Amino acid sequence: MLAEHGEERTAEVGETLFQIGDESYPFMAIIEGEVTVLDGAGREIVRHGASGFLGEMNLLTGQTVFLTAVVTQPMRYIAVDRGVLRRLLFEDGSLSDLLLTAFVERRELLQQWDGIGVEIIGPLESSDTRRLLDFARRLRLPYTWITPEESREAAVLIEQLDTADIPLVRLPGGGELRGPTNGELSRALGIGLELAQREEVDLLVIGGGPAGLGAAVYGASEGLDTLVIESSVVGGQAGSSRRIENYLGFPAGISGTELTSRAVTQARKFGARTATPYRARALEPDGERHLVKLEGGNEVAARAVVLATGAEYRRLPVEDLDRYEGVSVFYAAGPPEAQLCGAQRVGVIGGGNSAAQAAVWLARGGALVTLLHRRGDLRETMSSYLIDELERYGVAVRDRSEVSGLHGEEGRLETVTLTDGTKLPFSFLFLFLGAVPCTDWLGDVVARDADGFILTGADAGADGLLETSMPGVYAAGDVRAGSIKRCATAVGEGATVVRFVHEHLTPVAPHGKRR
């Protein structure tokens, strides 16, 4: 099947098939021969032979190449252009299953390999350095962080730079950026769609989590010109989940990364556009088209707007938390964190299912994990199957425990103090303290409840179930007051909201037919 859509090629020993810094490369399925994949220092990461294939997530995201592939035995292979491959993934379920799973797993392994991807050079004290590290982590970008303390060369470089130019970012294959925004880094790496200064669409979806992607798939598949904007990385909270066990149709569970890759591929298949990172800053309602202003100055005029901005993790109310964040305090536990925490004492704070999933994941990676929560009994807040898993993987549980202080040097945690004065020797802390809605930017434009969640339906004085107090503006997923905070319900609301959008855009004529 690949041969029908690609081109058969040969390559001699020593030939380079792609190298670090290339803008793109085709997908390559090997018929015979062998190829080695190398990092920037020339170290071998893997060899692929007959029936294997070359490629990873950047074939889908557009990210520039950060590895080199050199032929080690004469090769015959099929090269399939990246655009054609994407189309095949829409059309062939089994190929799509095989490749998406392999690409996601390869990216996870590469994230654990030192010395590949971008180099971020900056000190811990620099908030822009910490911002970029957080962004790279969320983007699942392989990166190396170099601090002035650990490298003489970095110390000299940083000393010569103005604060606004920190961090210094070195791109794979050459080129550097000084103090880039998240958007500038994305563009430099070829990731994500760049918006025109002003866009006009039928449906603007704000937020690229499960609800937003659900709305995008249904909106675009039902013929609406649909744009999704996402302030950081598509996937939302679900994207940071190690394994979603209760999502219908995936009896063995599915990782947040894979669910997101599949959803984005599906949204693209129907023609929805997804632009990142673009943060909505203001919503100015208007009869015909609502105007949404984005950080950075872009504007989108949309006939209907779906607010799917979800919620953000709550932070711990302790001093100096930001000095530890991203170094030894985290809000998600993925492969790089599991590797970092192997054989270390780790605290996971929170009594919900997401805390349990992280604790189990870290314990399976070899960490000595204690889960701390406020209440007297975990069963009040956690699913029983996860309580069993905690026991199975040797996670210690401390009831009625709240952290009041963090202690350590240079962002590296050594101990935490609890409100009762107990000191616990943790090197890493993971926080799962629930979430607050991302709605501050909306001001009074739509009605919200006392906690900031968006009111819809009768509570907002609106006709439609998911319509806000502003006609033509809808809310779906965790951001909506009264929503069930689950992946499946967020996707379901995203799908449902499109029905109301259609009703808004095609009002019923007096004789009962849609105009």
Cβ closest to ligand FAD, residue 48 vs residue 140: 140
The three-state secondary structure class of 368 is strand
Token couple for 190: 């070829």
62 membership: H or E segment, kind and range: none
The three-state secondary structure class of 337 is helix
CB of 86 vs ligand FAD, minimal distance in Å: 22
Cβ closest to ligand FAD, residue 264 vs residue 332: 332
Q: Which of 5, 7, 9, 104 is nearest to 55 (CA)?
A: 104
DSSP letter at 155?
Answer: H
d(CA 66, CA 84): 22
467 membership: H or E segment, kind and range: none
Cβ closest to ligand FAD, residue 65 vs residue 229: 229
Residues that bind ligand FAD (CB under 6 A): 206-212, 229-232, 236-238, 240-241, 244-246, 279-280, 308-311, 332, 354, 357, 438, 441, 477-479, 485-488, 490
Helix ranges restricted to H, 279-341: 321-324, 335-341
Please check whether residue 243 is in contact with residue 357, taking contact to mean a CB–CB distance below 8 angstroms.
yes
CB of 458 vs ligand FAD, minimal distance in Å: 21
CB of 442 vs ligand FAD, minimal distance in Å: 9
CB of 488 vs ligand FAD, minimal distance in Å: 6
CB of 43 vs ligand FAD, minimal distance in Å: 33
Number of Cβ atoms within 10 Å of the Cβ of 243: 16
CB of 16 vs ligand FAD, minimal distance in Å: 37
CB of 347 vs ligand FAD, minimal distance in Å: 16
CB of 496 vs ligand FAD, minimal distance in Å: 13
Please check whether residue 244 is in contact with residue 266, taking contact to mean a CB–CB distance below 8 angstroms.
no
Residue type (1 letter), 210: P
* Inter-CA distances, 293 with 4, 198, 273, 429, 441, Å: 45, 9, 17, 36, 11
d(CA 72, CA 1): 26
Cβ closest to ligand FAD, residue 109 vs residue 488: 488
Cβ closest to ligand FAD, residue 281 vs residue 499: 281
Helix ranges restricted to H, 112-232: 127-138, 152-159, 182-188, 210-221
DSSP letter at 196?
Answer: P
Cβ closest to ligand FAD, residue 395 vs residue 479: 479
CB of 234 vs ligand FAD, minimal distance in Å: 7
Cβ closest to ligand FAD, residue 126 vs residue 489: 489
Cβ closest to ligand FAD, residue 57 vs residue 466: 466
Cβ closest to ligand FAD, residue 171 vs residue 490: 490
* Inter-CA distances, 187 with 122, 464, 481, Å: 20, 39, 35
